[in-house]
Structure 1
Amino acid sequence: MTVVDIHPHIVSRDTARYPMSPIGGKRSDWSHDRSIELDTLIESMDAAGVDKAAVVHSSTTYGFNCDYVADAVSQHPDRLTGVFSVNVLEPDAPAAMRHWYERGLTGMRIFARGSTLKEAWLSIADPRVFPCYELASELGIPVATNATVKMLDQIETVVTSFPKVPFVIDHLGRSDFSDGAPYENAAPILSLARFPNLYLKVTTNNFRESRDGKSDPLTLFPKLVSAFGADRMAWGSNYPASQGTLKDMVDLANDCLAGVSQADRDWIMGGTALKLYRALAGEAVSA
């Protein structure tokens, strides 16, 4: 089994070369307290048995300047690709997308909200963003977003309007599974299973929360696999934003996925990622 992480972050100590410019003007706490550099990520991947990764640009550290991730990918093109962010509301957003794509970043993320932005600063269904989706379709790259199930109407609008774009919902859309089986509270996220271009990113936070309340990973993840198919679910560590070692996060994921078949686990822990990020599968990509 090839293990692929589609949600680690890196932050450089070299603030002269990579100046801080966090989105919203406030740097995230994790990037202060437990950020890691490229070398530590590679060492952690080796220790955890993680073969490859799609490194997600830290918007709460660098805003829309993705130089550090791009430089990291250039040093390890056999193991890494990158997920860039651009200001999708600006007219030059497609040009910025091409710039980062040409530097080896083969996925995009729309950071709509987060630890330093409690309220969404944009609608992912804003028509001003549509040229970005059109280019993503042309380039054949996935678009990840941390939009939540509270933005369900926006998610449905973009996945139906751009059916050739693989959309990846971070952190299971912050869904509530605490009511337990049959997980009626999860109706919003489960309703998205009808869109074949909608993918779920299952992160460390989701695995930890899968034991909250009446939730049980042995019933929750089979439910999600039954709805979406394991080939539309992909693991992301959120390391080091989530506390703990990368190895602990891999072990946690495998433990929580004990209720699904080995074939399904193979998809979630790596196979789906290789489908989404073609560069990690060894496919040549070009602008």
Structure 2
Amino acid sequence: MTTTSAPQKLLTDPPDPNPRKPALVLPPGSWDCLIHVYGPMEDYPFHPGCPYRSAPVLPETFIRQMKILGLEKAVIANGAGYGSDSRYLLETLEKYPKTFRGVTYVDDDVSPARLNELRRKGVLGARFAGGPAYPHLPKITQQMARRLADADMHVEFLTFTPGGMAEEKELFLSLPNDRIVIDHFGRLDATKGLDQPGFTALLELLDTGRVWLKMSNPAFCTKEDYPYAPVLPFARTLVRHAPERLLWGSNWPHVMRNGRIMPNDGDLIDLIGEWIPSEEDRLRIMSVNPDMVYGDGR
């Protein structure tokens, strides 16, 4: 009798270990509002529903990188690899409480007491997935949204819905939360142009005053590699339309780039200057806005 072992999950390519010093000088107090960290797999195993694994990618590595790039604080989002297992995130927040804030996935049965505990430890938001990908990740419900609002935690959203914000807009408008953060440009398709319904819906959501958008992971929006040229007109339009509702994130360590060019994080900082030409807008997006969403005085 023969047996078949379970398929080995993809080991994602590591980030560039040598970030160059960018030409752009970031404003004081700049944040990276979306990174991930991963500990040793034997101690922090990846969720079986996640399609990838990662070698250790440590917060200490990112802290050294921050000094080169001109960043002062960062938001660690518990990645799809860990889902609602927040152990490594919480250990990192406890170790570096002045440098990092956290966002994690939470299960449907999470208690108000647990949410309050997460909040005290620096986890300021709960992340949810939309669409068919990553079925192991939790979906937002009205009950959960209310529970988070009561715990003074905001909602973050990672969408995989093919229609993007055109299909998710009514869901967002129905939530009771006054702080909703959308990751990765709303995963818009940069090939469909500025007039696509999903981008129009995204601008309308920003106009509500309840929604923030992370200008992060442009590789989700185009098959082109750095500098992700098709995303530039969308970034410029967003900055003109609602700079007070935008955040920036690198998505370090850039998981699932196998088969594509791994960006250098110094280049990503310089790309900020292309996306956000005005120094005033850069100060708002890189420092003022993240202080509002993540700067809880810790």
Question: TM over 0.5, yes or no?
Answer: yes
Q: Would the aligned equivalents of 1:3 and 1:51 in 2 still touch at CA under 8 Å?
A: yes
**SS of residue paired to 1:25:** coil
Does structure 1 residue 236 correspond to structure 2 residue 253? no
Q: How far apart, in 2, do the equivalents of 1:97 and 1:234 lie? A: 24
TM-superposed deviation, 1:256: 2.8
**SS of residue paired to 1:7:** strand
In the other structure, the counterpart of 1:59 is 80
Does structure 1 residue 106 correspond to structure 2 residue 124? yes
Which residues in structure 2 correspond to 1:20-99 (within 5 Å)? 20-22=45-47, 25-29=49-53, 31-32=54-55, 35-60=56-81, 62-87=82-107, 89-90=108-109, 92-99=110-117
Q: Would the aligned equivalents of 1:113 and 1:121 in 2 still touch at CA under 8 Å?
A: no
TM-superposed deviation, 1:49: 1.0
In the other structure, the counterpart of 2:239 is 225
In the other structure, the counterpart of 1:201 is 214
Q: How far apart, in 2, do the equivalents of 1:26 and 1:210 lie? A: 22
Normalising by the residue count of structure 1, what TM-score does the alignment of the two structures yield?
0.78
In the other structure, the counterpart of 2:191 is 178
**Corresponding residue to 2:201 among 170, 184, 188:** 188
TM-superposed deviation, 1:65: 1.2
TM-superposed deviation, 1:179: 4.4
Q: How far apart, in 1, do the equivalents of 2:216 and 2:182 lie? A: 11
**SS of residue paired to 1:186:** helix
Q: How far apart, in 2, do the equivalents of 1:224 and 1:211 lie? A: 20
Does structure 1 residue 245 correspond to structure 2 residue 264? yes
**Structure with the largest fraction of helix:** 1
Q: How far apart, in 1, do the equivalents of 2:38 and 2:143 lie? A: 30
Normalising by the residue count of structure 2, what TM-score does the alignment of the two structures yield?
0.75
Which residues in structure 2 correspond to 1:120-199 (within 5 Å)? 123-124=139-140, 129-147=141-159, 148=161, 149-150=163-164, 152-164=166-178, 166-180=179-193, 186-199=199-212
Change (3 A) 1:21 1:51: same
Change (3 A) 1:264 1:256: same
Give the number of the structure whose alpha-carbon radius of gyration is greater.
2
Aligned-partner residue type, residue 175 of structure 2: S
In structure 1, runs of 5+ residues without a counterpart are none
TM-superposed deviation, 1:223: 1.6
Q: How far apart, in 1, do the equivalents of 2:138 and 2:64 lie? A: 36
Q: Would the aligned equivalents of 2:182 and 2:214 in 1 still touch at CA under 8 Å?
A: yes
Q: Would the aligned equivalents of 2:128 and 2:139 in 1 still touch at CA under 8 Å?
A: no
Does structure 1 residue 12 correspond to structure 2 residue 39? yes
Aligned-partner residue type, residue 129 of structure 2: F
Q: How far apart, in 1, do the equivalents of 2:188 and 2:77 lie? A: 21
**SS of residue paired to 2:75:** strand
TM-superposed deviation, 1:119: 6.2
Q: How many residues of Structure 1 are paired with residues of Structure 2 in the alignment?
A: 261
Aligned-partner residue type, residue 101 of structure 1: R
Q: Would the aligned equivalents of 1:237 and 1:249 in 2 still touch at CA under 8 Å?
A: yes
In the other structure, the counterpart of 2:275 is 256
Change (3 A) 1:54 1:205: same
**SS of residue paired to 2:93:** helix
In structure 2, runs of 5+ residues without a counterpart are 1-26, 256-261
